[in-house]
Structure 1
Amino acid sequence: MLRARSDGGPAPGDIRNIVNRGRRIEIEANRKALLPIIDIVLTCGRQNIALRGHRDDGRITESEPPDNDGNFRSLVRLLVRHGDGILKEHLEKSGSNATYISKTTQNQILDCAMSIIRSHVRENIQGRFISVLADETTDRAGREQMVVVFRYATEKEGKWVVREDPVAVVDLVEEIKRTGKVSEEEEVKMSGENIGNVLTEKIKEFTGAGSATIVGCGFDGAAAMASENVGVAAVMKRDNPYCDYYHCAMHSLNLCVSACCKQPDIRGCIATIKELTSFFNMSAKRIDALRRAVKTAAPERSRTRLVSLCATRFLERHDAILTLCEMLLSVVTALEDMETWYSPDTRNKAGQLRRALSSASFLVALFALESITAIMLPVARALQAKQMDAVTALEAVQACTKVLQSWREQPDERFAEVMTKAEQAAESLGVVIKPPRCASKSVYRANAGDSDDPIGYYRVNCFLPLLSSTLQQLEQRFGERQCCRSDICSDIV
């Protein structure tokens, strides 16, 4: 010690060096043991593998327990079995309060990862123009969760790319209680003002003061979100003068398709498709009957199941319609076979569905839907593409609108193709396309046009109303306001 003091520093054998060296070795060993645990937690998060936490207490043994103790502990055990000696030694020799495998440590690792990600996003948006996207839904635990996403442009490898980064997931009810100072006894109002205040507070917590300029916000079309007077869009506009509201283009397209199906034949066709897919998909025996019918009629076809008609996703809706058009004969054959089964419920339902599929109104409506959704399908795919900008999206919608408008002006040629497909399907099913009996005054059935001419009747009462309704919805939801903004953006670019 005297020599150390006289030299002005610690000697190699000094106790401080020995203590510090032991501490450094311990730190390095702990870090090496913690690395695979961190990797497991991040892998589970990346692959959407659940980390439950309620069984993550106590030591881990190399042998499998009699009861399933969860994904995390199973993955730790897997690494130990396959040669991770450092992790194995750590689990065997560490103290019970320093194993780093508890649910508390897992949450701390996830919090650290979130901080790193948020810090990276915060650096990317520094001094940039950003848009805020938000959507809410109720999870399986009954909590109203709202996710907040920042959309912005950043430079990567010399090219500008558009990024959409989630920055927060908010328990909306609890946040409204906190920010609005609502007591436990009071009703929590999911108003635009309350949701907007929560969203604004979360944005300020993340971005800080003046770090980014918010120039746009995107929500669904609900009044509480989209209203320019009392909605979240109004709250965002009040705090950010340059922030304009945009309705999700893909959501608008889905609403167009849903709203244009009010014509009776189209509505009945969609209801029949929903009932048909539910009837087949709810029973393995019925699925097998359809598979055998498909293999008999078209052995080369790979798809042997019907697709459910999704109410909110356009791509799935078109797939359901197209699949039924291709498998119509096989479906009817399977239904005819089911009419001989022992179960009376199956027999009755199969007969009901077979008669519905063999009706002229259903066949015409089905192929009319198929022709129009086929035109809108490229638009739907374009709107869901990565890094799609507003200008390109609205240009795709306008191109689709022009095609449908040309059909509306000269419908005979297009409807002739629809009728040809419907007549071919009817011939394979052994039925004849003819208009229904029409009274002089019909309440529940359209009776415009010539009731003796099937082409004229279904063109006037089915195809043209569907076409006109689709065009009307496209013009309403992708109207002058959004097109004007698109023109401004294209001029700037």
Structure 2
Amino acid sequence: MNQNQHIETIVCKQSDKEKGKYKMRLNTSIEVARYLSTHGLAFRGHDESESSANPGNFIALVKTFGRINSDIEAITLKNAPLNHKMICSDIQKEIVNAFAMEVLRAIISDIGDSTFCLMVDEARDISMKEQMALVVRYVDKSGSVIERFLGVEHVTDTSALTLKSTIDDFFSRYGLSVSKLRGQGYAGASNMKALVAVARKHGHISSLFDFTTRVLNVVGSSCKRRDLLREKQSEKIIEALDMGDISSGRGLNQETNLKRAGDTRWSSHYNTLLSLINMFDAVIDVLEIIGRDASSTSHRTEAQDIVDRLLSFDFIMSLFLMKNILASQMSYLKYFKGKIKIL
């Protein structure tokens, strides 16, 4: 019996050959994922079909590898088995997760038995899920201060007990010792959110925030209106400079725009009110133009109503009152952060 033709020999040869193809496809996907991850580029495209002109960065790079190496082209994409293409989203996520685990192990190995500080901040994603970002600061073996991002952990809420439980679980999973922890820093995002919620319970303050958002929506609803606002603000600055009301110099009188407030940052609310105060005259000018020239009657009426309220005593008082309150809160936070750095 000819052993070279034996069915078991043929199967083994075919199996080794398929293993080699599989390994080459996997290595190709790993190198593509490594390049995209390193440069912070998107993996997926809207249309990843074979006929698509723009299938996304991942598939485009696999094709590029194939054009460079005919062996890769012969076993990837349309030339690969349907269940072994190594390009689906699940495979991409597994590869990136493997990268993340190796990076995390390297960071923890670099920390070793040294002491370290932990910094925590809220990182809510686009699906509105609460997440906690973890960063460590430590001194490496060469004496340099290093900061490393460890990852993002999902949390049900941002209360102290939940954060503590999540941190304990994270430390347990990756072998970090609480006994080596020498400092902790928190952004206080949930507290800021709570303070905003409390402030909004007051009728005048809630009305102020809602009305400010309405002003931003009307004045910044189109590129044309935003350009007009910048033009009017530039004219006001030039006029103030000519009259000597403001000074000129490096870093002064930079081009700006109205800023929107976030849910968890006092600074964003403060910057929103401050930008409205600084651009108040320009905003009034733009709204008067809209009230005079807008094609829709409802738009003209809305702009005129906004102008009337902007110029009212109640609004001006609420605007400057909240601006001063937020400014004092920010000063306290800066002082507190400075104390943390010193410690």
CA positional deviation for 1:331: 0.9
1:345-396 deviations in Å (ceiling 9; x for gaps): 2122111111111123333443454455456556667878xxx77254xxxx
Is the counterpart of residue 276 in structure 1 residue 215 in structure 2? yes
2:43 pairs with one of 31, 44, 51? 51
Residue type at the aligned position of 2:309: A
1:321 aligns to 2:273 (yes or no): yes
Q: 1:213 to 1:55 in 2, by over 3 A?
A: farther
* Alignment partner of 1:158 out of 143, 152, 155: 143
8 Å CA contact retained: 1:53, 1:103: no
Instruction: Indicate if the aligned counterparts of 2:158 and 2:190 stay in contact, CA closer than 8 A.
Output: no
**Does residue 111 of structure 1 match 2:97?**
yes
Match of 1:346 in 2: 299
Q: Distance in 1 between matches of 2:162 and 2:198?
A: 30
Q: 1:349-388 counterparts in 2 under 5 A?
A: 349-371=302-324, 373-374=326-327, 377=330
> How much has 1:329 moved relative to structure 2?
0.9
Match of 1:122 among 108, 112, 131: 108
> What SS class does the counterpart of residue 153 from structure 1 fall into?
strand
Q: How far does residue 56 in structure 1 lie from its aligned partner after superposition? A: 6.6
Quick one: distance in 2 between partners of 1:54 and 1:169?
Answer: 28
Higher-Rg structure is 1
Q: Any unmatched runs of 5+ in structure 1?
A: 1-22, 174-188, 219-245, 393-489
Name which of 27, 38, 46 aligns with 2:30: 38
Is the alpha carbon distance of 1:258 and 1:166 closer, same or farther for their aligned partners in structure 2, counting shifts above 3 Å? same
The one-letter code matched in structure 2 to 1:38 is I
- 1:390 to 2:337 alignment: no
Q: Secondary structure at the match of 2:279?
A: helix
C-alpha distance after superposition, 1:171-200 (max 9, x if no partner) = x68xxxxxxxxxxxxxxx999989876764
Check if 1:204 corresponds to 2:172: yes
AA aligned opposite 1:165: F
Whole-angstrom distance in 1 between the partners of 2:274 and 2:72: 58
Q: Is the 8 A contact 1:124 1:154 kept in 2?
A: no
Shift of 1:294: 3.3
Distance 1:168 1:344, change over 3 A: closer
Q: What TM-score do you get using the length of structure 2 for normalisation? A: 0.65
Q: Does 1:213 align with 2:163?
A: no
CA drift at 1:101: 4.2
Q: Which amino acid counterpart does residue 315 of structure 1 have in structure 2? A: S
For the residue of structure 1 that corresponds to 2:150, the secondary structure is strand
- State the match for 2:73 in structure 1: 91
What letter is aligned with 1:90? I
Preserved contact between residue 66 and residue 73 of structure 2 (Cα < 8 Å): no
> What is the letter of the counterpart of residue 209 of structure 2?
I
Q: What SS does the corresponding residue of 1:278 show, helix, strand or coil?
A: helix
Instruction: Note if 1:331 corresponds to 2:299.
Output: no
Partners of 2:257 and 2:133 in 1: CA distance: 37
Identical-residue share of aligned pairs (%): 17
The SS at the match of 1:149 is strand
Which whole-Å CA distance do the structure 2 matches of 1:390 and 1:319 have between them? Answer: 24
Aligned partners of 1:72, 1:349: CA distance in 2, in Å? 48
Give the conservation status (yes or no) of the 8 Å contact 2:122–2:189: no
2:263 partner SS: coil
One-letter amino acid of the structure 2 residue matched with residue 41 of structure 1: A
The amino acid of 2:149's aligned partner reads D
For residues 382 and 38 of structure 1, what CA distance do their matches in structure 2 show?
46
Per the alignment, residue 260 of structure 2 pairs with: 308
Cα gap change, 1:96/1:342 in structure 2, threshold over 3 Å: closer, same or farther? closer
Native 8 Å contact 2:219 2:286 kept in 1: no
Are the counterparts in 2 of residues 261 and 267 from structure 1 also a CA contact under 8 Å? yes
Gap runs ≥5 in structure 2? 1-15, 240-252
Alpha-carbon offset, residue 277 of structure 1:
0.8
Write the letter of the residue equivalent to 2:74: E
Count of residues paired in the alignment: 305
Q: 1:111 & 1:356 partners in 2: Cα distance?
A: 53
**Aligned match of 1:75:** 61
Alpha-carbon distance change, 372 to 47 in structure 1, aligned in 2, over 3 angstroms: farther
Correspondence for 1:14: none
Aligned to 1:479: none
**Farther-moved stretch of structure 1 (339-348 vs 197-206):** 197-206
CA separation of 1:380/1:51 partners in 2, compared to 1, >3 Å: closer, same or farther? farther
In 2 relative to 1, CA 66–34 (structure 1 residues): closer, same or farther, beyond 3 Å?
A: closer
1:129, 1:215 within 8 Å by CA — same for their partners in 2? Answer: yes
Amino acid across the alignment from 1:166 = L
SS for the counterpart of 1:336 is helix
* C-alpha displacement of 1:73: 0.9
